[in-house]
Amino acid sequence: DVKVTQSSRYLVKRTGEKVFLECVQDMDHENMFWYRQDPGLGLRLIYFSYDVKMKEKGDIPEGYSVSREKKERFSLILESASTNQTSMYLCASSNFPSGRKDEQYFGPGTRLTVT
């Protein structure tokens, strides 16, 4: 079974703090993704990575950065947390598509509250 883990289930941070959200997958997947999920707005892609040290912006990258130093780990960084970044953050991974199935597998999510 594919396993995607996230470092925290719940996190409370203060405005202006630097926040790190960590995601690890154990299936040697090339692709990893960070989403946020908000009521009424659904899931929105923040950043994704298709290889180590490679990253691409998603639909809402402003205020976020990412790091992928190892294949299994993808970190989301909030440089200076703001209250509008209070949300559920979901990490996902998938196989390289190349004609194979590329289901996205999700982690349990991190509920971040910025006060």
Partner 1 sequence: KQEVTQIPAALSVPEGENLVLNCSFTDSAIYNLQWFRQDPGKGLTSLLLIQSSQREQTSGRLNASLDKSSGRSTLYIAASQPGDSATYLCAVRRWAAGNKLTFGGGTRVLVKP
Identify which of residues 18 and 42 has a Cβ nearer to partner 1 in the complex: 42
64 beta partners: 78
Q: Which of 75, 74, 72, 70 is nearest to 29 (CA)?
A: 72
Q: What is the nearest approach in angstroms of partner 1 to the Cβ of residue 80? A: 26
Helix H segments across the chain? none
**Which residue ranges make up the site for partner 1 (CB under 8 A)?**
4, 31, 33, 42-43, 45, 48, 50, 56, 58, 88, 90, 92, 94, 97, 101-109, 111
Q: Closest distance between partner 1 and the C-beta of residue 106, in Å?
A: 4
- The answer to whether residues 24 and 92 touch, using CB atoms and an 8 Å cutoff, is no
Shortest distance, position 8 Cβ to partner 1, whole Å: 13
Phi–psi pair at 74, nearest 5 degrees = -135, 120
Q: Is the Cβ of residue 17 or residue 59 nearer to partner 1 in the bound state?
A: 59
31, containing H or E segment: strand 31-38
The least CB distance from residue 87 to partner 1, in Å, is: 13
